[in-house]
Chain A
Amino acid sequence: MSKVLIVAEHSGNQLNQSTARCLSCAREIDPAGADVVVFGSNCGEVAHQAAALEGVARVLTVEREENQAALAAIIAPQLAVIAADHDYILGPSTTFGKDLMPRTAALLGVGQVSDLMAVTGPRQFQRPVYAGNAIVTVEVPEGLKVVATVRTASFKPAAEGGAASIVPNQVAAELPAHTRFIELRTGGGDARPDLQTARIVLSGGRGVGSGENFKLLFALADRIGAAVGASRAAVDAGFVPNDMQVGQTGKIIAPEVYFAFGISGAIQHLTGIKDAGLIVAVNKDPEASIFQVADIGLVADLFEVIPALDKKLG
């Protein structure tokens, strides 16, 4: 039995990469590895993907009709039961984990370490506060379970190569009937790489000017195999859908290369990209604060730069 339990995030048939990142965090807590629990209505495929990750001790599946949509009110009471024997319960710091883990922590009578970014001791961790303007070191007192959401951008995904056993579980938890899933509307389900796992991300801000102009970014992204993100200003202005927002209240990402076009560099935006390997900024205002964090900066009009890049990199 592992000390650490990780809650798998998945789409029904595909394991989310956040699980492999949680696993790397888990192995810093306990090198021996971790158990992974999969909730769903038909978990076979996802369980196999989880079992193939290096460092997984066991995959626990909890199959139940009600688990089809990952509703926190439904999953949390089951997770609290499964977690009875584990000392650490980790979930990703994605909207899935942020919704589920605090509900579970409260059922277990403990607090939660949100956005865990570093393990500094057996019960001691670092996490960002104030939009990443400060880092706090926190400690969970002895005798209490550690519940945490893992800041996925801070940990590399665990490799494949494991062959863990898959153990079906029955959980005798009473489930509420007060919450119903209606639908999930996705941004478009296109072939472009996922924002949270892409190697290269191109983001546009208010400076891009319109949804129509965002096509320039999409075209360049498709040419170089990048994902496309946006600032809050671009989302609020209706240029692009909300699931593209990067930042404190959007997605926290850590691509190898991040391009910011027409983004001023507000602190709430920067907190979402500070783990990027390389930040490239194009802005026509030489005073823009994005240049203070950019590894490569270019003061220029994005409407000239993007087509030129498209030509030169294509």
Chain B
Amino acid sequence: MGENREWNVKKIMVCLKRVVDYNVRIRLRPDGSGVVTDGVKMSVNPFDEIALEEALRIREGGSPVEILVVSIGPADCQQQLRTGLAMGADRALLIESDIQVEPLIAAKAILKVIEREQPDLVLLGKQAIDDDCNQTGQMLAALWQRPQATFASKLEIVDGRATVTREVDAGLEVINVDLPAVVTTDLRLNEPRYVKLPDIMKAKKKPLQTESLASLGIDLEPRIRVLKYEEPAPRQKGVMVADVDALVAALRDKGIFN
């Protein structure tokens, strides 16, 4: 370290996915082809809001960082990108597509943008709460041949390197990676700010560029086919007991604590 004291993060790219709001109880289409989204509240994936918040905090920490938000999906994703701009991002890019974009395709598309934009840091959510895949950041890092720090709950940048605390099953793992790198966010990294009305007005004037996914020239053939959506099997109805004695009796009845 130290050989490059002047090194600063200048550009951060944040991926924002449009998803069904986490408070919505989803309904399946009767033909099992997917989830009903007509008239359903859509939001920025909660982990992606955390990713953007982290980028904003890095900028507020002193360095003049440009923040670019990117989304891949239908034209309606503009709403989520506008939310990102209102939170404080400088520019937005919509990669428009009406096909289902699986993580590998998303990663390839994001890489195309990276090649053009040359960000120092790319922040994604650890998982999209619709497909629950938890893949895109890792795939992107592989294709870009750069470090990955997944499930981040703390991020510190010094001299062109990031020290990241990761939430792992055994506790907290700390790793150090060279930049540029891919970081995926966990819930405890920060608490995203609320967007204020004047910011929403201001965001309308910020640049939002659109290009088609097809124009990027990547292979769009799905590697995984989704055949059908089904309701999960319901659990059997349980019983209510009146007091601790009845609880212990019910447990013993089930063969537990004999």
Contact = CB atoms under 8 A, between A and B. Distances in A.
Given A106-B107, A135-B230, A135-B232, A300 B225 contact: no
Contacts of A144: 223
A309 B249 CA distance: 11
A95 B168 contact: yes
B231 A140 contact: no
Contact of B244 (A100, A132, A186, A305): A305
Interface string A211-223: 0000000000000
A309 B174 contact: no
Nearest to A268: B22
B188 A99 contact: no
B227 A300 contact: no
A178 to B, nearest CB: 4
A133 B232 contact: yes
B102 interface: yes
Contacts of B242: 298
Contact of B104 (A73, A105, A132, A256): A105
Contacts of B176: 179-180, 182
A31 interface: no
A2 interface: no
A72 B103 CA distance: 18
Interface stretch (B77-85, B114-122, B132-140, B201-209): B132-140
A138 interface: yes
A274 B244 contact: no
B223 A182 contact: no
A178 B228 contact: no
A134 B178 contact: no
Interface in A32-89: 71-73, 76
Contact of A242 (B25, B138, B145, B188): B188
B147 to A, nearest CB: 5
A193 interface: no
B139 A134 contact: no
A173 interface: no
Interface string B147-186: 1101101000000000100111111111111100100001
B197 interface: no
B9 to A, nearest CB: 16
Given A96-B169, A103-B141, A186-B170, A313 B244 contact: no
A243 B141 CA distance: 25
Contact of A138 (B28, B142, B225): B225
B216 to A, nearest CB: 17
A293 interface: yes
B257 interface: yes
A106 B241 contact: no
Contact of B247 (A138, A179, A268, A296): A296
B103 A112 contact: yes
A166 interface: no
Nearest to B149: A179
A285 to B, nearest CB: 13
Contacts of A72: 138, 148, 150
Nearest to A132: B232
A136 to B, nearest CB: 5
B224 A111 contact: yes
Given A180-B176, A308-B244, A242 B167 contact: yes
A297 B240 contact: yes
Contacts of B42: none
B200 interface: no
A129 B186 CA distance: 18
Interface in A93-125: 94-96, 98-107, 110-115, 124
A309 B2 CA distance: 59
B238 A294 contact: yes
B127 interface: yes
B255 to A, nearest CB: 10
Contact of A243 (B107, B171, B177): B171
A257 interface: yes
A94 B223 CA distance: 23
Given A73-B147, A105-B104, A296-B238, 10 more contacts: A95-B168, A99-B150, A99-B151, A102-B142, A134-B231, A134-B232, A182-B175, A243-B167, A243-B168, A313-B257
28 contacts: A72-B150, A98-B134, A100-B138, A102-B136, A106-B138, A111-B103, A111-B104, A111-B223, A112-B135, A112-B224, A131-B129, A133-B25, A183-B173, A183-B174, A185-B173, A200-B256, A235-B188, A243-B169, A249-B186, A274-B235, A279-B238, A291-B238, A295-B239, A296-B240, A297-B238, A298-B242, A299-B240, A309-B247
Interface of B: 20, 22, 25-26, 28, 35, 102-104, 107, 126-127, 129-136, 138-143, 145-148, 150-151, 153, 163, 166-178, 181, 186-188, 222-232, 235-236, 238-248, 250-251, 254, 256-257
